[in-house]
Amino acid sequence: MATVTVSWGLSVLLYGVLRWLGLPVIAAHPAALLVVSPIIFVVLLLQKQRVNQGQKFTFLRFLRFFVGIILGAALQGALLAHLLQSDLLPDVLAFAAAALIGVLILLLVSAVWVFPLPDSNTSRTEIVTSVFIAAMVVLRLLYLGLPELMEQEAYYWNYSQHLDLGYLDHPPMVALIIWLGTILFGVSEFGVRMGAFLCWIVTAYFSYRLTLKIFDRQAALGAVLLLAVLPLYFGVGFLMTPDAPLHAAWSALLYFSYRVLLENDSVSWIGFGVSLGLGLLSKYTIVLLGPPFLLFMLVDPKARRWFLKPGPYVALVLALLCFSPVLIWNMQHEWASFLFQSAKRISRVPVVSTHHLIGHIALILTPAGLIGVLLFFIFGGRVLRSAQPADDPVLLDTTRRTYLLLFLAAFLPFALFLLISFNREVKLNWTSPVWLAVIPFLGCTVTSIYGGFCSICMMAIRELWRFTIPLLILAFAVGAHYLTMGLPGIPHPPGPVLIGWNHLAAEVEMLADELEQESGSRPIVVGMDHYQITSGLAFYRTQNAQGGDGPDSSVTVGQSVGWHLFGFNARMYSSWFDVQEWQPVDVIAVASKKSRLEQKSFSTKIVFDSEIRPLPAVKDGQEVRRFYYRLISSDTFE
């Protein structure tokens, strides 16, 4: 307790001095923790040496302690950013509150990982794994509402402003979740993303339960840790896209398939059907689990009996009932969504992308996970059997059937994507849910040693995870801080994150106000791309107006229009804004490139009211990205 108090007090004092000397917050707050941390390290080392003479200074201990510093600084920075944005406390007092979490996290990581207690290896592994899971969950939760939305997130928020039974690009689950989140938490990044966080909790819960049935508690915690730190699974639980509910439904479907096909639990067919239906409402990709389950039921004698029982058919009816809104919408719109996701994708230009597919898998799972997947496909059955008593034929038979189910659930969807990659492009996120079937095995490689003759491979992967997981934690901690508060001396990154768009939306709103005063009618804003600019401006114009005297969301969303106004493809905006029923007004056209605002770029004759002018997106006084705008007269549309 004295160590916490002294460390915290020194950190607050140092922060106050650094701020008085003129250092910005993004430099002062990590510097305060960094300067205090050697004192903490020395004190803890001396304390541990008095208890255990084997506790000595090593470079490995120092590296682990450094991970604790970065993790503590990232959590400290997130809480500090929230307090400063809320204006609840002055600068130094806000840091005093935030510094407490920074010091506590550093001490906690040091106690369980840098200077571990002389406990059994089993309990120590579980404690360290649990601490890192908790730290990553808190990191995600604290940063959830800080970075600006991604372009896709803003687009899906616009879904929620036009609730429907279905959409061209995706089923309606993402829209419903965002709608509920913003009802509870307002038009904010946190409101949009809270659903993704909860979907990750569901994914982690069912993955934990499934792994616990197959292996043990250590492996189950290892599985959850991987879901917390592997790049795409971290992103799925942070960014609100259709992949978030898809992963939740996919993990639930795997769990309930185990319950019905391996444990013969007829009641779980209800969970199976609901999971499948909710998955179809999230993303059509979940149908890829149908062939593996059907094939398992055909080749496995015990599972084959279900064909003569009502369970599977009840599940199918439940799934169709859940999916019926999408079927109705597609019937009303000439099967537009199904065609968009199938025939139109197939009709694209052929391209070999197998090397991209392998690279995507390595990025999703890291090289350690990729090696683990290969080991699962080759020796996974033997590893699973080695985790069971060798003299129990019933358990060994269940293990054989378990491996067959997981193998089919992972291999058949992967094989389909592999075939597609021979002549079509595959995207980064496509195979991400596929590996949820391998997560129990990978969780075992993180924390446990099984495998008999292949235990050397298992130990090698475990050692690889010991370096990979801390590096991933470092990357997420630094990256989250970079996207929100920034890093000293490094500019904010331009790209798909809408950094500085609060400022950009405010500038556009000022232009609209000026034009309205001059012409007497409110102009509309057209984003000159498929959906990105229009979606971002619609969200941040609405957020800026929230709580003030500005227009409500129905007005700001209706005034942000796609470039289908000029004959281009604007995804769902073509349905949300009917050009035929529009009363022509002036237009503010916003583009990321000057060329898109030149006469030759338009498919119709344009009457311009101005030259092309710059429109910067600014954050913390720094121009992050430059856009351009041009005024277009309503005479164009007469």
Residue entry with tokens 């237009």: 587
Is residue 451 scored above 60 in pLDDT? Answer: no
Which of 412, 442, 472, 420 lies closest to 232, judged by CA?
472
Does 437 lie in the same domain as 388?
A: yes
Q: Is the residue at 391 inside a domain? A: yes
Pairing relation of β-strands 560-561 and 524-527?
parallel
Long-range contact set of residues 14-21: C-beta below 8 Å, sequence gap at least 24: 15/92, 15/95, 15/99, 16/92, 16/95, 19/91, 19/92
- Phi, then psi, of 570 in degrees rounded to 5: -125, 35
Q: Give SS3 for 167.
A: coil
Does 347 lie in the same domain as 229?
A: yes
Does 157 lie in the same domain as 73?
A: no
CA distance 139 to 197: 11
Q: Which of 120, 136, 165 is the last residue in one of the domains?
A: 120
User: What is the rounded average pLDDT of the residues 599-615?
Assistant: 82
Q: Is the residue at 189 inside a domain? A: yes
Does 353 lie in the same domain as 238?
A: yes
CA distance 152 to 232: 16
- Give per-residue pLDDT as tens, 487-508: 888 888 777 778 889 999 999 9
Domain hosting 518: range is 501-637
Does 224 lie in the same domain as 90?
A: no
Q: Is the residue at 496 inside a domain? A: no
Does 114 lie in the same domain as 162?
A: no
Tokens representing 131 are 């601490």
pTM of the complete model: 0.94
Q: Is the residue at 277 inside a domain? A: yes
Instruction: Supply the pLDDT for residue 141.
Output: 96
Could you give the percent of the chain with pLDDT greater than 70?
Answer: 92
Q: Is the residue at 105 inside a domain? A: yes
Residues 6+ apart with CB under 8 A from 9: none
Q: Helices (H) and strands (E) in the chain — how many of each?
A: 25, 5
- Give per-residue pLDDT as tens, 397-448: 889 999 999 999 999 999 999 999 998 888 888 999 999 999 999 999 998 7
- CA–CA distance from 358 to each of 223, 432, 615 (Å)? 22, 12, 40
Residues 6+ apart with CB under 8 A from 272: 253, 256, 257, 259, 260, 315
Q: Is the residue at 495 inside a domain? A: no
394 compared with 553, residue with greater pLDDT: 394
User: What is the rounded average pLDDT of the residues 334-357?
Assistant: 79
Does 158 lie in the same domain as 106?
A: no
Question: Can you spell out the DSSP letters for 348-370?
Answer: SPP---HHHHHHHHHHHHHHHHH
CA distance 145 to 192: 8
Does 421 lie in the same domain as 298?
A: yes
Q: Is the residue at 465 inside a domain? A: no
Does 111 lie in the same domain as 21?
A: yes
Does 562 lie in the same domain as 432?
A: no
Q: Which of 450, 473, 488 is the last residue in one of the domains?
A: 450
Is residue 268 scored above 90 in pLDDT? Answer: yes
Confidence of residue 120 (pLDDT cuts 50, 70, 90): low
Q: Is the residue at 225 inside a domain? A: yes
- Between the ranges 184-188, 255-259, 393-397, where is the mean pLDDT highest? 255-259
Could you give the percent of the chain with pLDDT greater than 90?
Answer: 60
Does 191 lie in the same domain as 62?
A: no
Tokens representing 173 are 């689950």
Does 356 lie in the same domain as 282?
A: yes
CA angle 35, 38, 41 (to 5 degrees): 145
Count of the separate structural domains present in the chain: 3
